[in-house]
Amino acid sequence: MAALSRGAGAASLLALLCVGVCSAVCVKVPSETEAVQGSHMKLLCISCMKREEVSATTLVEWYYKADGGKDVPIYEYRNEQRELESRFSGRLQWNGSKDMQDVSISVLNITLNDSGIYTCNVTREFDYEIHRPVFTSTTLIRLTVVEAAGEDLTSVISEIMMYILLVFLTLWLLIEMIYCYRKVAKAEEAAQENATDYLAIPSENKENCAVPVEE
């Protein structure tokens, strides 16, 4: 989960940079769907606007529904941020952007009972001269809260590949050592054989074996 969380966090950061810094560019990124008990969880909701749609009045409504329950309003943005009376009172925080393309909220000190479905409704009324069209969008986030973070498949595969690489390097080094040892041993054996053959030659023949020196 750690690697996936880091990946999703990086994607979220990229989205925020695109929304916050490059106002003409907006990237919709899905929210994370798993949180660890006691942590802060950002519920990501992005509703992109085109350049010509920047002038608009935006209403944001957040709802929470437990398994088998009904939607309960927990937060809204209507000209200003407002936390509604709910079981989340005191634990919700606005985490959106000034241009209202990112309308995310964060749940602080999340608990196991916070698992469920979070709904983000965005309603925009565009301020055109001739008409005032209304655009609506809905984002559903099914959140699961766990007691502790577990290793995800990506990190497990990375560890396995690391161990395989270590084993491969160890075997390669062992093979190289054996090869070098045998090569040195053969060289010493050949040198000993040459020395033995030289000692076995009679002394008179050794003189004949001398290389003549030209004057």
Q: Which helix (H) or strand (E) holds 36?
A: strand 34-36
159 Cβ contact list (under 8 Å, min separation 6): none
Q: Is residue 116 part of a domain?
A: yes
Integer CA distances (angstroms), 87 to 1, 41, 59, 74, 215, in order: 28, 16, 22, 8, 112
Q: DSSP of 40-86, one letter per residue?
A: -EEE--B----GGG-SEEEEEEEEEE-TTS--EEEEEEESSEEEPSS
Q: Map tokens 């990237």 to a residue.
A: 27
- Judge if 69 and 120 occupy the same domain: yes
Q: Is residue 10 part of a domain?
A: yes
Whether residue 143 is found in the same domain as residue 162: no
CB 142 within 8 A of CB 66: no
- 38 and 130 together in one domain: yes
Q: How high is the pLDDT of residue 201?
A: 64
Q: For residue 99, what are the β-bridge partners? A: none
Domain end, chosen from 148, 169, 190, is at 148
> Is 213 within the bounds of a domain?
no
Residue 161 and residue 98 share a domain = no
129 with 197, same domain: the answer is: no
* Strands 72-78 and 134-146, bridge-based pairing: unpaired
**Domain boundaries, position 187:** 155-202
**Within-domain flag for 13:** yes
Asked whether residue 84 falls in the same domain as residue 50, the answer is yes
d(CA 41, CA 114): 10
Residue 160 and residue 101 share a domain: no
Residues 6 or more apart whose CB falls under 8 angstroms from that of 4 comprise 152, 154
100 and 163 in a single domain? The answer is no
Q: According to the model, what pLDDT value does residue 18 have?
A: 40
Q: How many CB atoms lie within 10 A of CB 69?
A: 10
Mark whether 99 and 121 lie in a shared domain.
yes
Residue 179 lies in a domain: yes
Question: Is pTM beyond 0.75 here?
Answer: no
Q: Does residue 51 lie within any of the structural domains?
A: yes
What tokens does 173 get? Answer: 């080094």
Structure tokens belonging to residue 179? 């090869």
Handedness of CA 99, 103, 104, 106 (dihedral sign): positive
Domain identity same for 63 and 15: yes
What is the pLDDT tens value at each position of the chain, 215 positions in all? 444 444 444 444 444 444 344 444 678 888 889 999 999 999 999 998 877 666 789 999 999 999 888 999 999 999 899 999 999 999 999 999 888 899 999 999 999 999 999 999 999 998 877 788 899 999 999 999 998 876 566 677 878 888 898 888 899 889 988 988 888 888 888 878 777 766 666 655 555 555 555 54
Task: Give a yes or no: residue 184 inside a domain.
Answer: yes
d(CA 209, CA 215): 18
Is residue 56 in a domain?
yes
Total domains present in the chain: 2
Q: How many CB atoms are closer than 10 A to CB 103?
A: 26
The enclosing domain of 109 has a CATH number of 2.60.40.10
In this structure, are 92 and 165 located in the same domain?
no
pLDDT at residue 25 in the model: 64
Q: What is the pLDDT of residue 200?
A: 64
- pLDDT score for 17: 41
